[in-house]
Amino acid sequence: MTATNLWREHRVLFGRWLARLRREPLTMLALLAQPMVWLVLFGHLFTKMPVPGGNYLRFMTAGAVVMTTFNGCLTGGVELLFDRESGFLVRMLAAPASRVSLVTSRFMYLTVLTGAQGLVILVAAWMMGVRYAAGIGGIAACLAIGALFGSGITALSLALAFSLRSHSQFSRSPASPACH
Amino acid sequence: MTSSADPAVQVSGLTKDFGATRALDGATFDVANGEIFGLLGPNGAGKTTTMRILLTLLKPTAGTARVAGQDVTRDPVAVRQRVGWVPQGHAVDPLLTVMENMRFMCGMYHLAPVAARRRAAQLLEPAGLADHGNKVARVLSGGTRRKLELAMSLVNVPAVLFLDEPTVGLDIAARRDLWTYVRQISRQGTTIVLTTHYLEEADALCDRVAIIDRGQIQATGVPGELKVNYQASTLDEVFLAATGQELAA
Ligand SMILES: Nc1ncnc2c1ncn2[C@@H]1O[C@H](COP(=O)(O)OP(=O)(O)OP(=O)(O)O)[C@@H](O)[C@H]1O
Ligand SMILES: [Mg+2]
């Protein structure tokens, strides 16, 4: 298991997650639309709401980033579950690639995806007038903390995905947003 | 350790229990290098279970198996590097293009990107897929998709290729087309182990067959010999006799 081999596996595994996302542009749109709707709709609806800091939009921007990361990572296990049901997962396991790479590539993908979404939200909020007191460093810290938080949620999601038998059971589990 | 005189597959006393179910019960057989070997048997006979053990995806309860000179339990990664597999279900990502699927599989077998591109092009040509490279796999017909799955299973130039019911769900033209492709792969020196329910397919394609029932090998031999031994005119009759089933009158 050399570093070169690990790199080659991760390259194609990560590339596959990205290609799948590209082929489903509606998913990508929905991923970005949801936090935007929050910002625009609730940001304006609750402008009079007394919150710490005094500005509701500013208050909820942080929340939008966290919720987006949380949702993205929690549903992140589902795709591996699809692979298990379709039989593609076991086909991958028949290759000499490391089993761990399947999971770590998923972590990498979700970190990049939710990081990008977080950044889009922060930029959108900035355009709506939110200013970040902590500056660029604060934004970097926010994204880094988001990545850590997201990794934890991804781990939970993957553990759930693999300990439950089927996809329908996953969406019925109380931790999943699908049951709201 | 590996000499070319060794059989490509050596299975000895292979047994697999799933809880109380005995899926394999002391199966023993060899597959010679370069052979096309057929595993025939009714549903639930243990064909897929045998393959999954040989592919290192399942651990046997008892018995030993060597594939391409490597022990499946002692050195699973070495086995995985030397074998290819087209499973009973689906083995392509329907959302990826033909070329993306090929290159994905190349990466899973540790080919460098440049080598992967070359290997993919080399394999798509004889599979008749050279013009389909940019098509999303979802839109391919059943036969074309199967050929893609075969091409994907060849990225590591396997010593032994396992095909689990390769022609299920294909029409007769697509089936014959696939046979031609399988023979072509075989001529390049790859040993092929396939399972099938179509005895006509075994007759047309296989150098040797084993008939398996309830986890046990009931008979092995060249299709022609089996017909003589069982005084049968078709492999179907051999199959029914070996598995103790009766022909409905
Ligand atoms: N993961 C599993 N857990 C429990 N039982 C299993 C499992 N896999 C297979 N079996 C059982 O083992 C036996 C052999 O199954 P196997 O899939 O090897 O048969 P097969 O010959 O491939 O059949 P088919 O022609 O239907 O594909 C069956 O009785 C099956 O129910
Ligand atoms: Mg089977």
- Return per-residue pLDDT of chain A as tens, 180 residues: 689 999 999 999 999 999 999 998 888 788 778 878 878 887 777 777 777 777 777 778 888 888 888 888 888 878 888 888 888 999 999 999 999 999 999 999 999 988 888 888 888 888 887 788 778 888 888 888 888 888 899 888 888 877 876 555 555 544 444 333
Q: What ipTM is given for this predicted complex?
A: 0.88
| Pairwise CA distance, residues A107 & B206, whole Å | 45
Q: Which residues of chain B have pLDDT under 50?
A: 2, 248-249
Residue A168: per-residue pLDDT: 57
Crossing angle of helices A99-127 and A25-37, rounded to 10°: 50
> Among 3.40.50.300, 3.30.559.10, 3.30.70.1340, 3.20.20.60, what is the CATH number of B1-82+158-244?
3.40.50.300
In chain B, which residues have their Cβ closer than 8 Å to the Cβ of A98?
Answer: none
Cβ–ligand 1 distance for B215 under 6 Å, the answer: no
Tokens of B154: 């060849």
Is B44 touching ligand 1 by the criterion CB < 6 Å?
yes
pLDDT, tens digit, 9 for 90 and up, residues B141-190 = 999 999 999 999 999 999 999 999 999 989 999 999 999 999 999 999 99
Q: What is the pLDDT, as a whole number, of residue B229? A: 77
Which residues of chain B neighbour A24 with C-beta distances below 8 Å? 95
Q: Give the pLDDT confidence score for residue B249 in this predicted structure.
A: 42
Distance CA B235, CA A23 (A): 46
The reported pLDDT for the residue numbered A135 is 82
The domain spans of chain B are 1-82+158-244, 90-157
E strand residue ranges, B61-179: 62-67, 70-71, 83-86, 160-164
Is A96 in Cβ contact with B81 (below 8 Å)? Answer: yes
Q: Which residue among A23, A90, A95 sits closest to B87, beta carbon to beta carbon?
A: A90
Residue with CA nearest ligand 1 atom 11: B23
Nearest chain B CA: its distance from A7 CA (Å):
9
Quote the strand ranges of A31-146, DSSP E: none
Q: Is the distance from the beta carbon of residue B41 to the nearest atom of ligand 1 less than 6 Å?
A: yes
User: pTM (2 decimals)?
Assistant: 0.88
Contact between B90 and A94 using a beta-carbon 8 Å cutoff: no
Report CA(B38)–ligand 2 centroid distance (Å). 13
